[in-house]
Amino acid sequence: MEESDQALWLTEVTCVATGTFGALAPPRILRPVMRVLAWYHTSMFILFMISALLNAFLAKDFFNESLESAHFLVTGLHLFSKFMTMMRREREYLNLLQDIRKCWNGFITNNPKHKEYMLRASTRADRTTIIIFSSICNVLTVNMLNSLVKNMIEPEKMHFPVQLYLPPQLSRSYAVGAAVQIIVFSSPVMIISTTTSFLNSITVHVEALGASLAEDIRSMENWQGEPAIRVYKKHQEIIRLVHGINRVMSGNWGFEMACASVQLTLPAYRALRALKRNEVEVINHCFITLLNFSVIYLIYTSGSKIYRMGEDVRNSVYESQWLLTPAPERKNLIFVMMRANKPLEYKYKVFRFDLPGFTKVVNTVFSYMAVLRFLDGHDSGPRI
């Protein structure tokens, strides 16, 4: 497998395997199967959101049942929009992957000394993809074990893995009800794993390209001829890649920012409430809260990586041997430095995905939790 094919190969495979890319990426003989899989996930998403909505309105206990259903509903809407966007714009996503591979292969060909570093970055991205899938898919196991333990502690009432509506015919048997819920719940779990690993993988690869460029700039002893032209072109390619990522993915980022606070608030408050009451669900809620926190943090820290990469390139230009460069070549460096002063970042309109943005999300979470605490103040038992 060549370096250009090796880069992002696991990312594309996971998108195909989950049905997110089904029209162009799979081999022609598998495309009908992938289309069926995509329709299956679509129907499961719709069923998941309807079940969450019904349970949120029909549940008898708002804080014990409706909050989790509301969390599922918001998460389902958010993930469904991502899923449909990646399906509709599959060609643009594949072109983005191909542009990264092309730039990746060109960097390795022109400067083989970076090959080992860049291959390590690609391996790290694949390893993180496996960790993301295994961690998020463990939600199914944790929910199942939690329901089994709760049924042992409170046998007078049947507890199911997740707070989704079940018709009376299905809720009579734990095995049948749990199987239906897990089947419906598995589609959002697979899609959130796919979308999160996709953003992380392309960010790791673009960040490695930027680090390679910064190292090339620092080692430049003569800003003349073909070596200088290659550096200029590499800088243009990286800027083009970041703009391409923003163009393809920023449509979902606005919804991402709107949903992030709610996705963290609802499970976090339920975990705090279960801890106060010494309920067995505290482990389940803490796990889901930690998982939501990790996913949202990973999304926001991806933007910080790109921003730091742009700063590294800018600093490397100034730290290079430009003082020894002839006057005509200094003019070319001025254009590079002027463009490098403009930040490279993931953003949606005026909103940026970076660590300061993540701290704002966390601050909003505390505000929402204070509101929920006030609304829950009438509840008997010790106050939080």
- What average pLDDT does this structure show over 243-248? 90
Tell whether the model's pLDDT for residue 72 goes beyond 50. yes
HEC readout, 223-254: CCHHHHHHHHHHHHHHHHHHHHHHHHHHHHHH
Cβ contact 3:115 at 8 Å? yes
**CA–CA dist 192, 41 (Å, integer):** 12
Tell whether the model's pLDDT for residue 2 goes beyond 60. no
**CA–CA dist 384, 290 (Å, integer):** 20
Tell whether the model's pLDDT for residue 377 goes beyond 80. no
Tell whether the model's pLDDT for residue 3 goes beyond 70. no
Q: Which residues are registered as beta bridge partners of 347?
A: 352
- CA torsion, ordered 268, 272, 275, 281, to nearest 10 deg: -30
Q: Which range among 88-102, 142-156, 333-347 shows the weakest confidence by mean pLDDT?
A: 333-347
What's the pTM?
0.89
**pLDDT for the residue 383:** 42
**pLDDT for the residue 4:** 46
Instruction: Name the strand (E) or helix (H) holding 154.
Output: none
Tell whether the model's pLDDT for residue 93 goes beyond 90. yes
**pLDDT for the residue 127:** 93
- What average pLDDT does this structure show over 357-365? 89
**CA–CA dist 178, 144 (Å, integer):** 8
- What average pLDDT does this structure show over 94-106? 92
Which conformational region is residue 343 in: left (phi greater than 0), alpha (psi within -120 to 50 degrees), or beta?
Answer: beta
Tell whether the model's pLDDT for residue 202 goes beyond 90. yes
**CA–CA dist 381, 176 (Å, integer):** 35
**pLDDT for the residue 46:** 92
- What average pLDDT does this structure show over 66-87? 88
Cβ contact 75:188 at 8 Å? yes
- What average pLDDT does this structure show over 163-183? 89
Please provide residue 293's backbone torsions phi and psi, each rounded to the nearest 5 degrees. Answer: -60, -45
**pLDDT for the residue 91:** 94
DSSP E strands in the chain: the ranges are 347-348, 351-352
- What average pLDDT does this structure show over 166-194? 90
Average pLDDT, the chain: 86
Tell whether the model's pLDDT for residue 94 goes beyond 70. yes
Q: What confidence tens digit (pLDDT) does each residue in 260-274 have? A: 888 889 888 988 888
**pLDDT for the residue 220:** 78
Question: One-letter amino acid identity for 161?
Answer: P
Please provide residue 362's backbone torsions phi and psi, each rounded to the nearest 5 degrees. Answer: -65, -40
pLDDT band at 381 (very low <50, low <70, confident <90, very high): very low
**CA–CA dist 182, 189 (Å, integer):** 10
- What average pLDDT does this structure show over 282-296? 87
- What average pLDDT does this structure show over 336-351? 81
- What average pLDDT does this structure show over 273-281? 82
**CA–CA dist 27, 226 (Å, integer):** 40
Instruction: Please state, in angstroms and as integers, the Cα–Cα distance from residue 139 to each residue in 39, 143, 162, 185, 321, following that order.
Output: 23, 6, 10, 10, 53
Token code pair at residue 214: 């910064």
**pLDDT for the residue 378:** 52
Please provide residue 280's backbone torsions phi and psi, each rounded to the nearest 5 degrees. Answer: -70, -20
**pLDDT for the residue 206:** 93
Residue 65 DSSP class? I
Q: Which range among 238-247, 313-322, 328-337 shows the weakest confidence by mean pLDDT?
A: 328-337
Separation of first and last alpha carbons in the chain: 57
Residue 352 DSSP class? E
Q: What confidence tens digit (pLDDT) does each residue in 107-135 have? A: 888 777 788 888 899 999 999 999 999 99
